[in-house]
């Protein structure tokens, strides 16, 4: 068979990656990209950093690592790929194996034949039906044109509102804070980063970001956007208050662009995105679909999910490039692994969250661990709060999350690898990870977290979460919190309650008589290590009703005296 004619609908990430891979495998194939925008391939994930000023030039979003612009000339000269910018694919003629394309400027219609077709139409930001959404100063952050418009206005703004506390919204808030703009983030759900973090982890991160100047309005619905007499935005009105704003950024999620696939009769999946098999074939075996317009298989839940991410778009492109040229590559599925940074804090996740795992019927063991990302004496050490979710019956790792100013992404990647290969928490504890003081501690915090899970499963470490302990305090339960930090550590920051007593860990054996044996005892320290030690000491001394608070005060998302 001669090399195929390959037509790709859509640019940005998945489309160009498909074209590049196909060209390497089929040097003489006829490859065409149809892209309605003027921008063919750009670094969408870099746009918040462009707004913040760390990416200094707009053109850097469009260049290769060696400084060449990724335009039509680049794709033709270096890739041998024809790119039709300013052209919109309006119809797929499956019977005739042609794509009907319309030139947006001239209205001219052409028919482009294919042997293999790849749909890479991406996603579109969801636009809520709000009054005032068309006011000057109201933006989305979906493409380079959006980023350029925001950048042109950003230096004239002192107050801004971001609607949506997901990944894009939080990255936008970060960029605005970097420009010393007062930012309020409004989120309909009762936590930040609802698609990334569990509630307990989100609460801690939200508190730390508030301490650095970002304000949150959680569980509030935006009712309308108000403007001044000149048609410029002036305020965002929620169901509870009015927030002043000279700029509003909408970041309430995206939806897959499936119109052309739906019109062609291709099967749409249960998530609302295009259904594909592991070879990324649609219901038509000669048509593939990649990137933000398709659904994926979740490797832990076994369910179809819609998780639009640049990493998947690029990996899809390689698989589709293989298969469009006659190979038989597969894309196994996803774990939803992602990391992001807001101010000096990183958040990351892989696999299932705790509530997701419970809803799927797993017998869940979850722990929260506060630890340093490298040795305490190294000047670059930073805090990481890590959560791990494990199936108690199989001991397989189901998911993990991490937050903190320390190195989160390394640990999330390690756990993602473990989950991908079906590892148990015992397997993870045995993985031979690299150690040197600038990079980790002798027992890495990923190992440490795995060991905490093992201790909990084996009954050595009965525990409470911060949320559970707060509920006990608020309900007036009769129990005792023993804070085992030193008096110097206790004095400036502690839980103010009559049920709290301070007993330094080193003194606990000598002060056993002061701790009541007839009450529930909860041990507390800064990060969880000393309180676990104290629990084991009290257990050995005959105390029966013992728990320690996971993660220590670093994982306490409430006010402290």
Quick check: helix, strand or coil at residue 430? helix
> 47 near 154, Cβ under 8 Å?
no
pLDDT tens digit sequence for 472-499: 999 999 999 999 999 999 999 999 999 9
Q: How far is residue 396's CA from residue 174's CA, in Å, rounded to a whole number?
A: 35
Quick check: helix, strand or coil at residue 174? helix
DSSP for 63-75, written as a single string: B-TTS-B-SHHHI
DSSP for 275-297, written as a single string: P--TT-B-SSTTEEE-GGGB-EE
Quick check: helix, strand or coil at residue 455? helix
As a dihedral over the C-alpha atoms of residue 261, residue 265, residue 270, residue 276, rounded to 10 degrees, the angle is -60
Quick check: helix, strand or coil at residue 121? coil
pLDDT score of 11: 93
Q: What are phi and psi of 369, to 5 degrees?
A: -130, 125
pLDDT tens digit sequence for 26-56: 999 999 999 999 889 888 899 999 999 998 8
Closest CA to 493 of 404, 553, 555, 405: 553
293 an active-site residue? no
Q: How far is residue 522's CA from residue 519's CA, in Å, rounded to a whole number?
A: 10
User: Is the pLDDT at 544 greater than 70, yes or no?
Assistant: yes
Q: How far is residue 490's CA from residue 494's CA, in Å, rounded to a whole number?
A: 6
Q: How far is residue 101's CA from residue 193's CA, in Å, rounded to a whole number?
A: 39
> 246 near 158, Cβ under 8 Å?
yes
- 486 CB burial (10 A radius; 0-12, 13-18, 19+): middle
Instruction: State mean pLDDT over 371-382.
Output: 96
- 156 CB burial (10 A radius; 0-12, 13-18, 19+): exposed
Closest CA to 268 of 121, 128, 111, 167: 121
Instruction: State mean pLDDT over 67-87.
Output: 92
Could you give all domains of the chain from N- to C-terminal order, each with its CATH number?
5-123+255-324 (3.50.50.60), 138-252 (3.50.50.60), 344-457 (3.50.50.60), 463-555 (3.40.250.10)
Answer yes or no: pTM beyond 0.85.
yes
pLDDT bucket at 188, cuts 50 / 70 / 90: very high
Closest CA to 296 of 276, 319, 268, 322: 276
pLDDT tens digit sequence for 310-360: 999 999 999 999 999 999 999 999 999 999 999 999 999 999 999 999 999
Q: How far is residue 150's CA from residue 178's CA, in Å, rounded to a whole number?
A: 14
pLDDT score of 443: 96
pLDDT tens digit sequence for 128-182: 999 999 999 999 999 999 999 999 999 999 999 999 999 999 999 999 999 999 9
How many CA atoms lie within 13 Å of 463's alpha carbon, on the beta-carbon side?
28
CA distances from 327 to 25, 26, 119, 167, 321 (A): 9, 11, 18, 35, 9
Q: How far is residue 202's CA from residue 483's CA, in Å, rounded to a whole number?
A: 25
- Among the residue ranges 308-312, 413-417, 452-456, 557-561, the one predicted with the least confidence is 557-561
pLDDT score of 559: 87
- Among the residue ranges 69-83, 97-111, 335-349, the one predicted with the least confidence is 69-83
Instruction: State mean pLDDT over 206-210.
Output: 97
How many CA atoms lie within 13 Å of 306's alpha carbon, on the beta-carbon side?
19
pLDDT score of 387: 98
Structure tokens at 389: 């979710």
Instruction: State mean pLDDT over 194-218.
Output: 97
- 124 CB burial (10 A radius; 0-12, 13-18, 19+): middle
Task: Return the HEC string of 241-274.
Answer: CEEECCEEEECCCEEECCHHHHHCCCCECCCCCE
pLDDT score of 272: 98
pLDDT score of 561: 63
Closest CA to 453 of 399, 407, 404: 399
Q: How far is residue 448's CA from residue 372's CA, in Å, rounded to a whole number?
A: 11
Q: How far is residue 504's CA from residue 67's CA, in Å, rounded to a whole number?
A: 59
pLDDT tens digit sequence for 273-322: 999 999 999 999 999 999 999 999 999 999 999 999 999 999 999 999 99
DSSP run (H or E) holding 342: strand 338-342
Query: How many other C-beta atoms lie within 10 A of the C-beta of residue 178?
Result: 16
Average pLDDT, the chain: 96
> 183 near 215, Cβ under 8 Å?
yes
Q: How far is residue 531's CA from residue 439's CA, in Å, rounded to a whole number?
A: 26
Active-site pick, 3, 39, 45, 427? 45
Q: How far is residue 392's CA from residue 363's CA, in Å, rounded to a whole number?
A: 6
> 535 near 546, Cβ under 8 Å?
yes
Which residues, other chains included, contact 48 with Cβ-Cβ below 8 Å and sequence gap of 6+? 141, 168, 171, 172, 174, 175
Closest CA to 260 of 425, 59, 89: 89
User: Is the pLDDT at 67 greater than 90, yes or no?
Assistant: no
CA distances from 109 to 99, 102, 293, 544, 553 (A): 10, 4, 24, 80, 65
- What percent of the chain shows pLDDT beyond 70? 100
pLDDT bucket at 1, cuts 50 / 70 / 90: low
């Amino acid at each position: 068979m001669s090399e195929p004619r390959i037509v790709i609908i859509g640019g940005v990430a998945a489309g160009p990656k498909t074209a590049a891979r196909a060209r390497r495998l089929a040097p003489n194939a006829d490859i065409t990209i149809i892209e309605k925008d003027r921008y063919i391939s750009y670094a969408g994930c870099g746009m918040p950093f462009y707004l913040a000023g760390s990416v200094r030039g707009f053109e850097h979003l469009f260049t290769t690592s060696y400084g060449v612009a990724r335009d039509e000339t680049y794709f033709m000269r270096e890739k041998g790929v024809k790119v039709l910018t300013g052209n919109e694919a309006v119809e797929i003629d499956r019977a005739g194996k042609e794509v009907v394309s319309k030139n947006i400027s001239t209205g001219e219609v052409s028919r482009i034949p294919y042997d293999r077709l790849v749909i890479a139409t991406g996603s579109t930001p969801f636009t809520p039906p709000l009054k005032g959404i068309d006011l000057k100063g109201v933006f989305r952050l979906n493409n380079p044109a959006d980023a350029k418009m925001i950048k042109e206005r950003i230096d004239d703004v002192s107050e801004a509102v971001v609607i949506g506390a997901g990944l894009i919204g939080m990255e936008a808030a970060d960029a605005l804070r970097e420009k010393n703009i007062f930012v309020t983030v409004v989120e309909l759900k009762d936590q930040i980063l609802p698609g990334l973090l569990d509630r307990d982890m989100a609460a801690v991160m939200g508190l730390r970001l508030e301490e650095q100047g970002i304000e949150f309005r959680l569980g509030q619905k935006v009712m309308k956007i108000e403007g001044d007499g000149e048609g410029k935005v002036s305020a965002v009105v929620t169901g509870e208050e009015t927030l002043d704003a000279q700029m509003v950024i909408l970041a309430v999620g995206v939806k897959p662009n499936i119109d052309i696939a739906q019109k062609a009769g291709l099967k749409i999946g249960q998530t609302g995105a295009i259904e594909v098999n592991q070879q990324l074939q649609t219901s038509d075996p000669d048509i593939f679909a990649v990137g933000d317009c398709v659904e994926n298989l979740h490797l832990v839940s076994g369910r179809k999910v819609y998780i639009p991410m640049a990493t998947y778009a690029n990996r899809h492109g390689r698989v589709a490039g293989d298969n469009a040229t006659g190979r038989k590559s597969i894309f196994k599925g996803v774990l939803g692994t992602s990391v992001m940074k807001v101010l000096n804090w990183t958040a990351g996740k892989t696999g299932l969250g705790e509530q997701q795992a419970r809803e799927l019927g797993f017998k869940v063991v979850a722990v929260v661990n506060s630890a340093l990302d490298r040795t305490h004496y190294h000047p670059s050490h930073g805090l990481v709060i890590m959560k791990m979710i494990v199936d108690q019956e199989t001991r397989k790792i189901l998911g993990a999350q991490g937050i903190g100013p320390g190195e989160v992404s390394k640990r999330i990647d390690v756990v993602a690898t473990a989950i991908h290969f079906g590892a148990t928490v015992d397997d993870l504890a045995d993985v031979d990870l690299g150690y040197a003081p600038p990079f980790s501690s002798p027992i890495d915090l990923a190992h440490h977290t795995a060991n905490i899970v093992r201790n909990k499963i084996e009954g050595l470490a009965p525990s409470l979460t911060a949320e559970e302990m707060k509920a006990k305090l608020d309900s007036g339960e009769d129990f005792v919190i023993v804070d085992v930090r030193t008096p110097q550590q206790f004095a400036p920051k502690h839980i103010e309650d009559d049920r709290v007593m301070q007993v330094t860990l080193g003194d606990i054996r000598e002060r056993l008589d002061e701790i009541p044996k007839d009450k529930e005892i909860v041990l507390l320290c800064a990060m969880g290590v000393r309180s676990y030690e104290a629990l084991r000491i009290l257990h050995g001394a005959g105390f029966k009703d013992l728990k320690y608070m996971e993660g220590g005060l670093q994982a306490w998302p409430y006010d402290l005296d």
